[in-house]
Amino acid sequence: DQQVKQNSPSLSVQEGRISILNCDYTNSMFDYFLWYKKYPAEGPTFLISISSIKDKNEDGRFTVFLNKSAKHLSLHIVPSQPGDSAVYFCAASLSGGYQKVTFGTGTKLQVIP
Amino acid sequence: DTAVSQTPKYLVTQMGNDKSIKCEQNLGHDTMYWYKQDSKKFLKIMFSYNNKELIINETVPNRFSPKSPDKAHLNLHINSLELGDSAVYFCASSHQTGPNTGELFFGEGSRLTVL
């Protein structure tokens, strides 16, 4: 049972425009959400996160929005740059106890120059 | 200096063989993990150790045996390799103190191909 879902396997965006990556989750107990970025032949790297007590977190060009009632989060990248081309993984975890992070299947973003 | 390093990066072997993948982290973290990314790109946790103690053990065949000699190292040994074991295996570490943030630091991955 996949508790974190990214239904778009790929996305293409023009340089300078906004990229919006979406993620849905099914486990209402999740209370911390993260985005990871992965380049080919490298491991995922942490990008941005949000606690369930917030609905928005911003870090430079990256903003994550959380809609708890819809069990949905999204990552906005503005403006998109060619170097942002990568696979983006949505992830979720439960606070308390040990960090068992559940990942989605990823969305491959291509930013076209 | 690489924070989380895995060896080997590539491993090609025959069915039925036994192989090991090693992982070391120099971040001073107290928790380490093994994740498996299969052909469908699904990144799934296998094991987690905290200060050499096994804390997460997902439904993984007992042919897979993790070993943590100290908190900076977590090795993965696989017996009697099967075709379905072909995947990329990622080691990761995290700092356990404080609130659970889920921020993991990953190695570059070890691509295992079983022929």
Residue A13: pLDDT band with limits 50, 70, 90:
very high
Nearest to B29 by CA among B94, B97, B102: B94
Q: Which of B40, B96, B103 sits opposite A46 (nearest CB)?
A: B103
pLDDT of residue B53: 85
- Give whichever of A10-14, B41-45, B49-53 has the largest mean pLDDT: A10-14
The CB density around residue A15, as the number of other CB atoms within 10 Å, is: 14
Which residues of chain B are within 8 Å of residue A42 when distances are taken between CB atoms? 108-109
Q: In the structure, what pLDDT confidence band is assigned to residue B56 with cuts at 50, 70 and 90?
A: confident
Mean pLDDT across B24-44: 91
User: A69 to chain B nearest CA, in Å?
Assistant: 21
Nearest to A21 by CA among A43, A36, A32, A6: A6
Mean pLDDT of chain B: 90
Strand ranges in A52-112 using DSSP code E only, listed in sequence order: 56-59, 62-67, 72-77, 86-93, 102-103, 107-112
Quick one: average pLDDT of B90-115? 85
Q: Residue B94: what residue type? A: S
Q: Which of A99, A105, A107, A109 to mutate to test the interface with B (most CBs of B within 10 A)?
A: A99
In sequence order, what DSSP letters do the residues of A20-69 get, joined into one string?
A: EEEEEE--TT--EEEEEEE-TTS--EEEEEEETT-SEEEETTEEEEEETT
CB A17 within 8 A of CB A112: no
Question: What pLDDT band is residue B37 in, cutting at 50, 70 and 90?
Answer: very high
Averaged pLDDT for residues A62-88? 97
pLDDT of the residue at B60: 85
**Arithmetic mean of pLDDT, A47-58:** 94
Residue A97 has what pLDDT? 62
